[in-house]
Copies of this chain bind each other. A is one copy, B any other.
């Protein structure tokens, strides 16, 4: 018998029928002898409906009251799921974040979990009950309702699994696992049986949005085995775990992540002396623009050029800030480009393998794809290329690193 924490998102509980299907699934786990804690989100659409009601009254509603409002979404789901479980003859009891209690700080709409009381859940589990917990919400020390921010139900599930020392935390989604890359771009993309927390973080931050980054960080920190599964299809999903050092056949590259959300900004002909990068990026940061890849180069005349990427939504604002800075620095020119894509190969295996970056660059060169920017970390090599080459680049790298062929050892 093992203790499993399961999380079902808004789409998985989007209708009464789906809630009943989730109940049936949970009953199956109980029948197999497992203890189960289920974390659920609001029924899909419900959170937006509630936000719209508040926005109809006030442009910038108070965050304490917004938390009171939208926390009702999950509260509805826990009650309905408990009722559905009882219909299956399965004893169940629901808890809001406050009832559990999931103690958080007082940062409404983006609260952080500080402590979880497991006594009531333990008592219910020992009595043979399924425990149903509202995701995404908690309570502060003064008894105010808080929310963890959107998508926070994953974090609730991982935090409960950590507090209960669960054997596994299962996140049910609309995909059947984590893939080597996006199957819509590379049909030969393969579901990974396993991936490490670090790899998952790099994949997620690159746009493979299967799991909330924060929940993966949390799972890694507390060593909670995390599994991504499809809500309504059978299958083993993908297990996200600590690195398995015994695995000799660990591949060099686990997957390819990419996104098209970014744009590139370049400032050329700037003086090459200390502090210039700060003079440029300081005002960008002050304008609340987040910067991702940053590259600095030198021209033949001794002047420097600096390029960085920002979210496309911030491009206009970044261009304006940069124009002011360029005038102050006497820079030669500034250019912006929103037709770029970012692409990365990710894998813990590359730590011990030289030549991974070289192999990547060769594969892209073979397709005549020009690399505009390069950035590397221990388990990732990121490049920025012209957007129109993205699909070609993904497929050629997928082939070059033999991702579709690979049989990973479980």
Contact = CB atoms under 8 A, between A and B. Distances in A.
Interface of A: 16, 19-20, 50, 53-54, 56-58, 61-62, 64-66, 68-69, 71-72, 75-76, 78-80, 82-84, 86-87, 93-94, 96, 98-99, 143-145
Contacts of A84: 57-58
Contact of A76 (B20, B69, B94): B69
A334 to B, nearest CB: 42
A76 B57 contact: no
Contacts of A64: 93
Given A50-B76, A65-B79, A99-B144, 7 more contacts: A20-B57, A53-B76, A57-B83, A58-B83, A62-B82, A68-B94, A69-B75
Contact of A54 (B54, B71, B72, B80): B80
A23 to B, nearest CB: 8
Contacts of A53: 16, 76, 80
Contacts of A86: 58, 61-62, 65
Contact of A68 (B50, B78, B145): B78
A300 to B, nearest CB: 61
A65 B83 contact: yes
B58 A79 contact: no
A233 B98 CA distance: 39
A170 to B, nearest CB: 23
Give the top 5 A-B pairs by smallest Cβ distance, nearest first.
A69-B79, A72-B72, A68-B79, A61-B83, A16-B56
Contacts of A19: 57
A222 to B, nearest CB: 26
A19 to B, nearest CB: 7
16 contacts: A16-B57, A19-B57, A50-B76, A54-B83, A58-B83, A58-B86, A58-B87, A62-B82, A65-B79, A65-B94, A68-B82, A68-B94, A68-B96, A69-B79, A69-B83, A72-B76
A56 B144 CA distance: 32
A41 to B, nearest CB: 15
Given A65-B86, A75-B68, A80 B94 contact: no
A69 B84 CA distance: 13
Nearest to A134: B68
Contacts of A69: 75-76, 79-80, 83
A143 B97 CA distance: 12
A94 B69 CA distance: 10
Contacts of A50: 76
A93 B64 CA distance: 9
A64 B69 CA distance: 21
A410 to B, nearest CB: 38
Contacts of A96: 68, 145
